Amino acid sequence: MAEDPVNVNEYQELARQALPKMYYDFYAGGAEDQYTLKENVEAFRRIMFRPRVLIDVSKISLSTTILGYNVSAPIMIAPTSMHKLAHPEGEVATARAAAACNVIMIVSYSSMCTVEEVASSCDAIRFFQIYVYKRRDITAQLVRRAERSGYKAIVLTVDVPRLGKREADIKNKMIQPQLKNFEGLLPTQVVSDEGSNFKAYADLTLDASLSWKDIGWLRSITKLPILIKGVLTHEDAIKAVEAGAAGIVVSNHGARQLDHTPATISVLEEVVHAVKGKVPVFVDGGVRRGTDIFKALALGAQAVLIGRPVVYGLAAKGETGVRRVTEMLKDELELTMALSGCPTIKDITRGHVITDRERLQSSL
């Protein structure tokens, strides 16, 4: 592709060309038959707009707040693993791009740069994503390090009691690299006869007994607000609020865990209605256009998380690629708002979109 990309999707092909097949498959792949991986994207396409006209859109503002922090747009960089496999500067490059765009980066526990290295790379609002480990002292230590380094929230991923079956990683014999955040805390070598050692590593370290009562333990060791990531039902949304979550991320783990879970955008409203405005709701999975962001906001999300497109931008063009991906999405969202008659984020309402289910019901 000789020309510069004109949309986020084109960065995926550049990343495929730039990366070794093993690493590209690691980032791009989903669980088992990858039904949910495709559905995350396709479900957005089944939502249509109901634009309003003759509204003054000479000035458009994308700015909003997330947990009280002012940001340039309702976009966060999702926690994705091991950015140095995509680019030598790794998460530091991603963090600098996020800072330049004034959006929040959620740094993954499996960052190949340390908590402290990312924090010192630039001045910006950032959150830190964690799991709860069998050894709770490891989780506690990571949380304390994030707090000392100025991270503003903890994002607890709750949908990995066991690792999903990611067949491309098994075929490619993808091996978990040693992560600097865990030096001296976790084993550096985990042997497996399954090709990839990711499952064996997860089985050894992650706590499959984690339950709702453990949220209280996590709250007891930090003053930071806790977002719970991995909720797909109204039942769990209610439990998250009761457990003291400061926010919920509607997520199916980028379709990398349980295949044939619903697309996140299709269950977003269920979660939004369940929490009744008590906490903010965010959503990730399948966002590839500014139009997707608008649709998510119309269905009740306060912001979206962007995962794979950020990694593709990083692989293709480093920090500049991450900035371009983010700015493309912001530019497309601004255009969508103008064409829909919404000068500000607060002007985006449920009435601006219609779902496929609503269209079907109206035709009966």
- Phi and psi (nearest 5°) for 102? 55, 50
Rounded Cα distance, 160 and 178, in Å: 20
Burial per residue of 279-290, b for 16 or more beta-carbon CB atoms within 10 angstroms, e otherwise: bbbbbbbbbbbb
352 catalytic? Reply is: no
Residues 6+ apart with CB under 8 A from 16: 24, 28
Q: Say how far apart CA 121 and CA 29 lie, in whole Å.
A: 30
Cα angle 343, 70, 300 (rounded to 5 degrees) comes to 55
Residue among 253, 260, 273, 352 flagged as catalytic? 253
d(Cα 301, Cα 67) in Å, to the nearest integer? 13
Say what angle helices 290-298 and 308-340 make with each other, to 10 degrees: 70
d(CA 284, CA 218): 23
| Contact (Cβ atoms closer than 8 angstroms) between residue 347 and residue 52 | no
Other residues' Cβ atoms within 10 Å of the Cβ of residue 266: 23
Query: Would you please indicate which residues are annotated as catalytic (active-site) residues?
Result: 253
